[in-house]
Amino acid sequence: MRAITDSATMLRRQVKHIWRYPTLILTFASVPVVFLLLFVYVFGGAMGAGIGADRAAYVGYLTPGIMITTIVGAAQGTAIAVATDMTEGIIARFKTMAIARVSVLTGHVLGAMVQTFLAIAVVTVVALLIGFRPPASVLDWLGVVGVLAMFTFAITWLSVALAMVTKNVATASNLPMPLMLLPFLGSGFVPTESMPAGLRWFAEHQPATPVIETLRALLAGRPAGSSFLEAAVWSAGVALVGYLWARRLYNR
């Protein structure tokens, strides 16, 4: 109970930061929005034709990948926030207080999830404005939110651990950047079937692809099938590794 109460306190701290600096949400959303507009209006005709769809249909194919791009892009901001706390002395002060040790990291994770979901909301609104019309039901949308929360939770814990490996904020801002490649080297923008054999194998066996395919199925009103199980396993594995790694580094 104490850990829950202290985590809620730390979450309020992070929410106050979000409220104080709302432009961070636009920062996290701006790059995915640029990718969305670029791939729809510059490459959309050619890439849509490549999957047997027109530009309007390609928006529906692309949007799940852009949502994942938003999540992995926001991981950089999470790493910066954690590294800032670690290097400015506030963590040392927290360690002297009678609070649950895990609550400091949990507060960062939950706050980052709130911030990431606000950025995803901005991206989704832009997608709707340019023609995204998913036939998903209310239940399907709830499934989409659940899958996004699951993957965001995993990536956020990983970014917290990466931030704690580093000795300064500059390095922490760079470590999560390779995560941005996952949607591109997966099914986020083109089908994996169109890729060379080696790249196709990697695309089909990395965490972003099953998450994207699950979102794509739910937004289209179709059963997610085995992709949901793969997405859940990947998310649980990444979250567990990130949590254990971050907790060990924090306790050390």
97-117 tens-digit pLDDT: 656 666 778 888 888 888 899
Q: What is the mean pLDDT of residues 14-23?
A: 69
Please compute Rg for the chain using Cα positions: 19
- Give me the percent of the chain exceeding a pLDDT of 70: 82
Rounded Cα gap, residues 77 and 167, in angstroms = 16
Rounded Cα gap, residues 213 and 250, in angstroms = 35
Domain coordinates of the chain in residue numbers? Answer: 2-251
Predicted TM-score (pTM) of this structure = 0.88
| DSSP collapsed to 3 states, 42-98 | CCHHHHHHHCCCCHHHHHHHHHHHHHHHHHHHHHHHHHHHHHHHHHHCHHHHHHCCC
Q: What is the pLDDT of residues 19-69, one digit of tens each?
A: 776 677 777 888 899 999 988 887 766 666 666 666 777 888 899 999 999
